[in-house]
Amino acid sequence: VKTQGRHGYRFYAPEMSQRSAASQRIENVLRHALAHNELSLQYQPKVDARLGHIVGAEALLRLQVDGQDLFAPDQFIPVAEDTGLIVSIGTWALREACLQGRAWQREGRPIPLSVNVSPLQFQYAGFYERLDGILNETGLDPSLLELELTERTMMTGGDGSIRLLRRIRQRGVRLSLDDFGTGYSSLSYLKHFPVDALKIDRAFVRDVTQDAETAAITGAIIAMARSLNKEVIAEGVETEAQSRFLREAGCSQMQGFLFGAPMPADVFQQRLAGQAA
């Protein structure tokens, strides 16, 4: 069933009213979580493809009570987008990651952190001012922050998006093109969008050792990105074989269960400390 915009369910009454009840429930849980501080971030290591040590982390939202996930991000992020709640939730995540990054910076263990930004959050008037405010307020070195945006997000605002991306970069924050290989995935966007890095989506990584065409396309994407001086990160790396292929194809960083699942901040900090010793 296809919906056209958020009121499309009216035309598909039985099925969609059911879905709308589920999404209503998630909306209530999200509002409660925002008000009662039940949102949290987990940190998934990004490792150097050659040397294997941690070079950064992606901050990922969790909606948990007593360590149990109420809903997965793939369930609650779309609802947050539909209801507009993503603007406050995304701002919360950005501030929380910057506070954590600042704490690690203070402890003499500066580590680059990436934060996901949703289309609606990015388009929302005042995104830059909010980002700038959070950087000033937390005192995080902007070069320790990276924003992950999808092509869809970058395309939503036309030329305005490009100007906004440039401003963000001028503030010293890095930009990464997320979920590459899904959606439109035109290599021309690599030239078009002022990004520092490209993240090859898990869907590609999964098949890279199974399917010769995926391997060829992935190899070509990595080579092209590198010739444009973009850093290439592979996400969802689960096996040694995938890791080897991607490293040899020229990925500079990797992320995936092979190197570590998303983990609470204190656990991530222990891993960082362990590797420094």
Site for ligand C2E, residues 189 to 228, rule: CB under 6 A: 202
Task: Compose the 152-191 pattern: x for residues touching ligand C2E by CB under 6 A, - for all others.
Answer: --------------------------xx------------
Identified binder of ligand C2E from the candidate list 100, 118, 138, 176, rule CB under 6 A? 118
Q: How many CB atoms lie within 10 A of CB 267?
A: 13
**What letter represents residue 258's amino acid?**
L
The piece of 10-18, 28-36, 110-118, 183-191 that touches ligand C2E (CB under 6 A) is 110-118
Quick check: 57 and 113 in contact, CB under 8 A?
Answer: yes
Q: Which does 63 bind (CB under 5 to 8 A by kind): ligand C2E, Ca ion, none?
A: none
Task: Compose the 59-98 pattern: x for residues touching Ca ion by CB under 5 A, - for all others.
Answer: ----------------------------------------
The piece of 47-55, 79-87, 145-153, 266-274 that touches Ca ion (CB under 5 A) is 145-153
Q: Which does 60 bind (CB under 5 to 8 A by kind): ligand C2E, Ca ion, none?
A: ligand C2E
Per rule CB under 6 A, is residue 253 in the interface with ligand C2E? no
Q: How far is the CB of 83 from ligand C2E (least distance, A)?
A: 14
Identified binder of Ca ion from the candidate list 20, 56, 178, 262, rule CB under 5 A? 178
Separation of alpha carbons 113 and 147, rounded Å: 9
Separation of alpha carbons 225 and 250, rounded Å: 10
Separation of alpha carbons 1 and 5, rounded Å: 13
- Concatenate the DSSP letters of all residues of 129-189 into one string: HHHHHHHHHH---GGGEEEEEEHHHHHHTHHHHHHHHHHHHHTT-EEEEEEETBSS--THH
Token pair listed for 199:
């993240």
Run of H or E including 41: strand 39-48
- The number of residues that bind ligand C2E (CB under 6 A) is 23
Run of H or E including 44: strand 39-48
The piece of 194-202, 238-246, 251-259, 268-276 that touches Ca ion (CB under 5 A) is 194-202
Instruction: Give the residues lining the site for Ca ion (CB under 5 A).
Output: 116, 148, 178-179, 201
